[in-house]
Structure 1
Amino acid sequence: MVDTASTSGLYILLISVHGLIRGQDLELGRDADTGGQTKYVVELAKALSRQEGVERVDLVTRLVVDEAISPDYKAPVEKLSENLQIVRIKAGPDEYIPKEQLWPHMDSFADHLYTWLSEQSRLPDVIHTHYADAGYVGVRLANLTGLPLVHTGHSLGRDKYRRLLAVGMGIEQIEQRYHMQARISAEEDTLSCAELVITSTRNEIESQYELYDYYTPEKMAVIPPGTDLEQFHPPIEGQPAESRAFQNTLNLFLRDPAKPMILALSRPDERKNIVSLLEAYGQTKSLQELANLVIVAGNRDDIRELNDGAQSVLTELLWVIDVYELYGKVALPKHHSAENVPEIYRLAAASRGVFVNPALTEPFGLTLLEAAASGLPLVATENGGPVDIIGNCRNGLLVDPLSREAIADALLSILQKPARWQEFSSNGLRNIARFYSWEAHAKAYLAMVQPLVSKRKPLTQVPSTHQFSSYRNRALFTALDNTLLGDAEALEQFAKVVRTHRRQFLFGIATGRRLDSVLTILKRNSIPTPDVLITSLGTEIYYTSELFADIAWSYHIDHSWTPQVLRRALESLPGLSPQPKNEQSRFKVSYFYDAQIAPPLDEILGLLRQQELSVNATLSFGQYLDIVPARASKGQALRYVASQYNIPLDRTLVTGGSGGDADMLRGNTLGVVVANRHQEELSNLSENEQVYFANGAHAWGILEAIRHYGFF
């Protein structure tokens, strides 16, 4: 991998995996995944690319090839300016799928992106991930490259989980629908790895991030996003009227379209709580007499063709309109375009209306900025970003989103008092320009990021003193215990295959054992000498037969490794007893694990995160707990070696049989799980399209996989 560290300008890599991202005409509100985050990352990328000292900005997202959506999303590269591009990377199936279904494909996305980065003329100076799925990818890239990781959560799983429970959703239902455990685990790992966490509001830090085990406020910075003040501005007297296309649409719904407009603009998502807003309006006759309610909730041709969540919300809106007989008072237009949005805000402002965001929680609320920049007073949820926005701008009221009475009262208190309406409108226009411009955001961002880049210590690769035939373009790595070992006859057959094809591939062993133990086993069992030994759970790499140690790898994984602190944190836990000294090493702390009395692994990880310890912990064969540095694991070491030799991961056959092998098998490697009594530790890999579960046990399973993949 080429790495010419920044000698000129900054190279910033932004990652935002899900949703539909393109440079222009964002399909905001199309579904739950195409909302404020997609607009934020595109605007951030554009703002950063315009800054002095920034050489290159790449915004990486998922490649989507789907006839049901625009062909824009299947372009591998979309150039937006001389130094800005959107890069699309394959992850999972070609078609567009919800973010909750993407989790099994994130390792593949990370591997594809790592390969793409390896082909660039230089590495980025910083990786900035957006949302938990990108965070998962960013952790893997940062651990492999040593690049500083910056993260923005946008919304957080623990907070969402808490709120879903509060509205009556069951634990099993939440997990089935949202894959919440995978998301929260990814968020914890991201917080552990990130050197800087950027939030939009102080409230986000204090009420959402504090729910996490790895809660470090000193690593968090508030940088409010901006809004485009050229696009979003108030109605201008004397200027020709804008296109009346949307006004004509509203006229089809409203009996008296000249009345003030209460405007809500969001996705048709239950978390946006627009049904409660409609009920508040329906229950308040004085509000109906005073104003119309306009709900712009995405686009639809046929409600029956939408996803279940959107279908449910829109159907309920129609029911509520019917129950309260709100015909002629409520508009629920079927279509609007991105170009219509500024016009919609200005129509509401010209009517002396109010913008309302009644979401159960709102991580930030870009629509609040757009509405305020258009001259609209605000009524917004008291949960999340609106607290800071209205606190800074003094242009509206905060309400309890679960109280329909509070929503109605706040709207009335603005609509019934022209002086208050004018005060809020003027305050918003003045303070949006002061606090929320993209130019200010980009400058604050670069000031925060520059120190991280300056202290960066990249993974340097020492010149190889070991030889490797250039025509070997594939590799086979296997775990040792209960994978390669366990059946003498199978092992003998495997050894014959290795010797027969030795010139065709690189042969490696990846094990939790120490080097001396591995060498003894190789000799005792007449196993052909590997080209590479990854030992002590990926903390040591040796190139045989000279046993040349990779010192660069040792230096790389030493980052934030404090074994003495680690041992003190675990010494009082029941069910853990240190393994003998010959099973420990400089970068591996190992315990016997008694499942009858020891805490579950998740609880142990939570304890370590609370102590701000960034590590990898694996439980193998149900009884061995091994803890290594965050940058070390069998899978990370294997990817480092494959990169050294320029061997594609999709030509790297990897076999394992216990939990410690999981990250070798995920992603783009040709994975195989051999049949043994511990294979259930890897059962969650069954969702991975590129993991083969062999019928054969031990080395028979490896031989079966060689045939299955047509490896030779």
Structure 2
Amino acid sequence: MYELAQAISTSDEKTTLRQLICTLRAACKKCFLRTEIIQVFAEHCQRSQKLQCFLHSSSISKLIQYTHEIILEEESTWFVVRPRIASQEVWRLSADLTQFERMSLQALLDVRDRSVNSYQPNILEIDLSGFYKNSPNLSDSRNIGQGLAFLNRYLCNQILTQPQYCLDILFELLHKLHYDGVPLLINDRIKSGTHLAQQMRQVISFLCQQPDAEPQKNFYFHLQELGFEPGWGNTAARVCETLHLLLRLIDNPQPAILEAFVSRIPAIFRVTLISIHGWVAQEGVLGKDETLGQVIYVLEQARSLENQLQKEIELAGLDLLGIKPHVIILTRLIPNCQGTFCNLPLEKIQGTENAWILRVPFGEYNPEVTNNWISKFEVWPYLEKFAQDAEKELLAQFSGKPHLIIGNYTDGNLVAFLLARKLKVIHCNIAHSLEKPKYLFSNLYWQDLEATYHFSAQFTADLITMNAADFIVTSSYQEIVGTPDTMGQYESYKYFTMPHLYHVVDGIDLFSPKFNVVPPGVNEEIFFPYSQKEDRDSTTRTRLQELLFTQKDEQILGHLDDLKKRPILTIAPITAIKNLTGLAECFGKSQALQQHCNLIIVTSKLHPEAASNPEEASEIQKLHNIINQYHLNNKLRWIGMRIPSRDIGEIYRIVADNRGIYVHYAHFEAFGRSILEAMISGLPTFATQFGGALEIIEDRENGFYLNPTDFAGTSQKILHFLEQCDANPEYWLEVSEWMTERIQHKYNWHLHTNQLILLAKISGFWNFVAPDDNEARLRYMETLFHLIYKPRADKILEQHMQHNY
């Protein structure tokens, strides 16, 4: 950056920089973000009749491209630059443009406070860098999110350089494995690592004389006398393979061998998934738009986990001991359940043998609040007591401790932290979508937003849980560190200020191997290709065709004059961030799109009076206004009713039958389940360029990413695709098949669950090897919980005790 600044200061570009800063100052604001800065620079170049090479290749243009924020002070201009992914720098330019010096993050946080007149000297600073300083870290930002692969390599190097020590560690790890007091893998007859290696060779010699398919029960007692317990395999061949893997790991450690061996260690049998604030049930769930996706996710994940764990138990030969997997979704019990099953303490998950929803009520405070559903922004006062009560219920249901706790969203992860800390259990953090990056300057203006969102409690809880977790599962790389042009969700917690509360100087290590990209799957019983005619119900198809195209109902707006046009489908909650109004306006402004297509919008509501909050009511009314403004009633269908998932699956397929497309036009989408669902159904899918969709679609020459702020560009991309389809009908089929295959091969629950269980096992091994570093970090998290989080939560509780909902 310094070289760029020097190049600018010693050339004619210095005048351009001065003019640019003057233009920004004329806007009468202090903070400018990247998009604003680029736009102002482009407009300046146009007014000044600069050549295109100046706009794109000059030193000042490079500085602008790297700059993500400019803050103006009277005597200086501050540049927050991001020269590469996961790397940020702060530079201050003097008023006379003669000095360009690098500044500390602490200085930047002070400047941000001053920019909103909230500067406070000697504010609390949170710095977590010390807990990661001596831990193994990735060095290349391209490998962020591949923590499992990194740890495998690191652990193999440790075995290679310290073979005897690692052999002893492996012995101790295997020796401590048990299931409710029943030893697994090895027993007390084996005394050391060296003894283990000797006995393994003797067992392998014995097994080589047995038929490959010989059941474990036929040689169980012989192996037990040699020091080996069940868990190595269900047949002679399987036991032999597992022992060979361990010998190869000791003799010639390689990441693939380590991963293969660890995947066979029987260490995970009981799993708790925590999802607090939703209507977590299966049938008759009214739900809320903010919780519907998470309920689907945890239910599908629970089914997949039980199925995978059962397979592992059988392959390990542990069904001989009567061991079965046990999966529990932990949520809150809601007494006023509005016709749902959310007031049942225990509910079996459909399609499983031993997976359950366990509901624990919030403690006795103000029943006018706690007897009802509570928004994710209001749950904070009840989570500590909930964790204490849930601990007793979980221990009773499991008849022991869980082996893995998976938190979902901030509230679920805070409970997971409290439970995992108390029970000494592996904690997996899945945030899905962090709130902080969704709301512009939410941390800077937290005091103005506190009454509505209580961000002080939530952002503190985020810091605690993401640092306390043994490993973090994200759906995409962008979720962690974004793109060259945009900051990632976790990256936004690297440093930030909450004026008058604290400064975060270093909030998370983005290069930590705890980050792992493990995308979710899609329920292939519900969402499958339109071409699978034999799996489709003709009665359902006819009913939903009428719903989409012709049926009249008070919850449906609009009719279609020309049913031969290609349908554009979008399915989403009607919130500002999902941007259905933007898609409708884009469609309304493009006569060409209207000539080629009909627009079908599927949401849960149609009328403002049905809205759950003012923002939703505003978006509903705005969509009505756009439809009226552009006279879209005969080219658009808005279906405003809650539709079951099975019917949604058929809706995608019906649109595919009609050679339509799917459009996801959100301002930002962390991942996007509907994108998976549409693609696997065979619908060519266009999605926002902001968020995880970048990785799902893999754009094929940039044809399927959309900028939701660029209506003209959006129309052009969609029309270009449709013109190609009109010219060559096989093109639609080609794209449809490619998108289906991509989801089937990369985004499925089998892959997700395999990786998740393997991560839990590797994390357990890592914690066994290096427990001291974890303990210090967890103590720090407890301090933040008691000194910052709890006082903030208590203030919310005071408000809840004083009023009725």
Q: TM-score, normalised by structure 1?
A: 0.63
**AA paired with 2:543?**
A
More helix by proportion, 1 or 2? 2
Match of 2:620 among 301, 304, 314: 314
**AA paired with 2:722?**
L
**AA paired with 2:746?**
F
The structure-2 alpha-carbon separation of the partners of 1:216 and 1:334, relative to structure 1 and needing over 3 Å to count, comes to closer
Displacement of 1:285: 0.5
1:130 corresponds to = 408
Q: Report if the CA contact (8 A) 2:430-2:473 is conserved.
A: yes
2:82 corresponds to = none
Asked whether 1:208 is paired with 2:489, we answer yes
- What secondary structure does 1:127 align onto? strand
**AA paired with 1:79?**
K
- Within 1, Cα distance between the matches of 2:795 and 2:386? 17
Match of 2:301 among 19, 44, 49: 44
Q: Report if the CA contact (8 A) 2:405-2:420 is conserved.
A: yes
**AA paired with 1:359?**
A
- What secondary structure does 1:317 align onto? helix
Q: Report if the CA contact (8 A) 1:147-1:456 is conserved.
A: no
Asked whether 1:337 is paired with 2:631, we answer no
1:58 corresponds to = 328
Displacement of 1:125: 0.6
**AA paired with 1:111?**
Q
Q: Report if the CA contact (8 A) 2:480-2:510 is conserved.
A: no
Displacement of 1:185: 1.0
Match of 1:87 among 337, 342, 358: 358
Match of 2:797 among 658, 679, 688: 688
- Within 1, Cα distance between the matches of 2:792 and 2:705? 47
Match of 1:180 among 440, 449, 455: 455
Match of 1:116 among 393, 398, 420: 393
Displacement of 1:210: 1.7
C-alpha distance after superposition, 1:394-423 (max 9, x if no partner): 996111122222222222122222144333
- Within 1, Cα distance between the matches of 2:426 and 2:436? 25
- What secondary structure does 1:119 align onto? helix
**AA paired with 2:329?**
L
2:421 corresponds to = 143
1:406 corresponds to = 713
- Within 1, Cα distance between the matches of 2:800 and 2:622? 43
The structure-2 alpha-carbon separation of the partners of 1:3 and 1:216, relative to structure 1 and needing over 3 Å to count, comes to farther
The structure-2 alpha-carbon separation of the partners of 1:560 and 1:5, relative to structure 1 and needing over 3 Å to count, comes to farther
- Within 2, Cα distance between the matches of 1:317 and 1:691? 34
- Within 1, Cα distance between the matches of 2:307 and 2:473? 20
1:189 corresponds to = 464
Displacement of 1:375: 0.7
C-alpha distance after superposition, 1:575-603 (max 9, x if no partner): xxxxxxxxxxxxxxxxxxxxxxxxxxxxx
Q: Report if the CA contact (8 A) 1:31-1:310 is conserved.
A: no
The structure-2 alpha-carbon separation of the partners of 1:268 and 1:170, relative to structure 1 and needing over 3 Å to count, comes to farther
- Within 2, Cα distance between the matches of 1:390 and 1:26? 31
Match of 2:602 among 290, 296, 299: 296
1:560 corresponds to = 774
Q: Report if the CA contact (8 A) 2:347-2:358 is conserved.
A: yes
Displacement of 1:352: 1.1
C-alpha distance after superposition, 1:77-126 (max 9, x if no partner): 11123221111111261111221121222222222212323434110011
Q: Report if the CA contact (8 A) 1:377-1:421 is conserved.
A: yes
Question: Unaligned regions of 5+ residues in structure 2, if any?
Answer: 1-177, 185-265, 314-324, 364-369, 482-487, 494-506, 553-558
C-alpha distance after superposition, 1:585-631 (max 9, x if no partner): xxxxxxxxxxxxxxxxxxxxxxxxxxxx5543xxxxxxxxxxxxx45
Match of 1:71 among 324, 327, 340: 340
Matches for 1:235-384 after TM superposition, within 5 Å: 235-236=530-531, 241=538, 242-249=540-547, 250-251=549-550, 252=552, 253-299=559-605, 303-304=609-610, 306-338=612-644, 339-384=646-691
The structure-2 alpha-carbon separation of the partners of 1:188 and 1:631, relative to structure 1 and needing over 3 Å to count, comes to closer
- Within 2, Cα distance between the matches of 1:684 and 1:449? 31
2:749 corresponds to = 438
1:512 corresponds to = none
Displacement of 1:163: 7.4
1:626 corresponds to = none
Matched residue count: 484
Q: Report if the CA contact (8 A) 2:585-2:626 is conserved.
A: yes
**AA paired with 1:347?**
I
Match of 2:433 among 151, 155, 163: 155
**AA paired with 2:579?**
N
Displacement of 1:371: 0.4
Q: Report if the CA contact (8 A) 2:276-2:330 is conserved.
A: yes
Q: Report if the CA contact (8 A) 2:426-2:760 is conserved.
A: no
- What secondary structure does 1:281 align onto? helix
- What secondary structure does 2:531 align onto? coil
- Within 2, Cα distance between the matches of 1:394 and 1:127? 41
Q: Report if the CA contact (8 A) 1:354-1:411 is conserved.
A: no
Displacement of 1:245: 2.2
- What secondary structure does 1:688 align onto? helix
RMSD: 3.2
The structure-2 alpha-carbon separation of the partners of 1:348 and 1:615, relative to structure 1 and needing over 3 Å to count, comes to same
Q: Report if the CA contact (8 A) 1:125-1:453 is conserved.
A: no
Q: Report if the CA contact (8 A) 1:261-1:294 is conserved.
A: yes
**AA paired with 1:411?**
I
Match of 1:105 among 377, 382, 385: 382
Displacement of 1:392: 8.1
Q: Report if the CA contact (8 A) 1:89-1:109 is conserved.
A: yes
- Within 1, Cα distance between the matches of 2:597 and 2:285? 30
Matches for 1:546-695 after TM superposition, within 5 Å: 560-561=774-775, 613-616=777-780, 630=781, 685-688=794-797
Q: Report if the CA contact (8 A) 2:574-2:616 is conserved.
A: yes
Question: Unaligned regions of 5+ residues in structure 1, if any?
Answer: 459-554, 563-612, 617-629, 636-658, 667-681, 694-712
- Within 2, Cα distance between the matches of 1:327 and 1:692? 47
Match of 1:199 among 474, 477, 481: 474
**AA paired with 1:245?**
R
Displacement of 1:24: 5.0
The structure-2 alpha-carbon separation of the partners of 1:341 and 1:113, relative to structure 1 and needing over 3 Å to count, comes to same
Displacement of 1:295: 0.7
**AA paired with 1:427?**
W
1:496 corresponds to = none
Displacement of 1:384: 1.2
Query: Please, which moves more after superposition, 77-86 or 363-372?
Result: 77-86
Q: Among all aligned residue pairs of Structure 1 and Structure 2, give the percentage whose two residues are the same amino acid.
A: 28
Q: TM-score, normalised by structure 2?
A: 0.56
